[in-house]
Amino acid sequence: GLGYVLKPGFMLPPLMFSDEEIEAIVLGSRWVAKQPDQRLSAAAANALAKIAAVLPDDLREDLDASTLLVGPAAAATEGIDLGVVRQAIRNERKLGFLYRDAGGAASERVVWPFALGFFDKVRVVVAWCEMRHDFRHFRTDRITELQATDTRYPRRRQALLKEWRATLDKPRGS
């Protein structure tokens, strides 16, 4: 593979970002880089380096000199590999696991994961739960015995996400 060949005299424009866009990129990448998901953390650092490599010198200096900082991450409490969850979401595959509720009661679950929420101290898998026949949120620090499967779930993740979002607009108990 040779890649792209440009005609002589034709130049691609450099990436151009406003000051606020640069700050957003740097801050977001730094935050992700401090999260316990090591593969996602490395990807954030790599993406930022790739962006920096193609920026004009003055913008690259702004990127390097960003004064927006991210504090230390909370100690990771989950014992599962979030990369497995992210891959199941991307590939629309079911996950199985043992889940402990807030009271410590354990139950085996098979879910259709379609989103992963990152909060300051916890991560949450958003999924359709086969046991409850409903959307559920599972804190990753309460998941053990995570099992990826090759079984595709029967709905598209985009459709599940849309339906789940619609439930957020409904008042509780309706």
Q: What is the pLDDT of residues 53-92, one digit of tens each?
A: 887 788 788 777 878 888 887 776 778 999 999 999 999 9
Please, which contacts does 50-55 make with residues 24 or more away whose CB atoms are closer than 8 Å? 51/15, 51/25, 54/14, 54/15, 55/14, 55/15, 55/17
Most confident of the following: 18-32, 75-89, 122-136: 122-136
Domain residue limits, the chain: 1-73, 82-168
User: CATH number of the domain at 82-168, please?
Assistant: 2.30.30
> In the structure, what pLDDT confidence band is assigned to residue 11 with cuts at 50, 70 and 90?
low
pLDDT exceeds 80 at position 13: no
Place of tokens 């354990």: 106
The angle subtended at Cα 19 by Cα 14 and Cα 23, nearest 5°, is 105
Residue 36, Cβ density class (10 Å: 0-12 exposed, 13-18 middle, ≥19 buried): middle
Whole-number pLDDT of residue 15: 66
Tokens (6 digits) for 54: 């193609």
* Contact of 122 with 116, CB cutoff 8 Å: no
pTM of the model: 0.78
CA 67 from chain centre, in angstroms, equals 24
pLDDT exceeds 90 at position 151: yes
> In the structure, what pLDDT confidence band is assigned to residue 20 with cuts at 50, 70 and 90?
confident
> In the structure, what pLDDT confidence band is assigned to residue 14 with cuts at 50, 70 and 90?
low
Q: Which is nearest to 153 in space by CA: 86, 59, 89, 77? A: 89
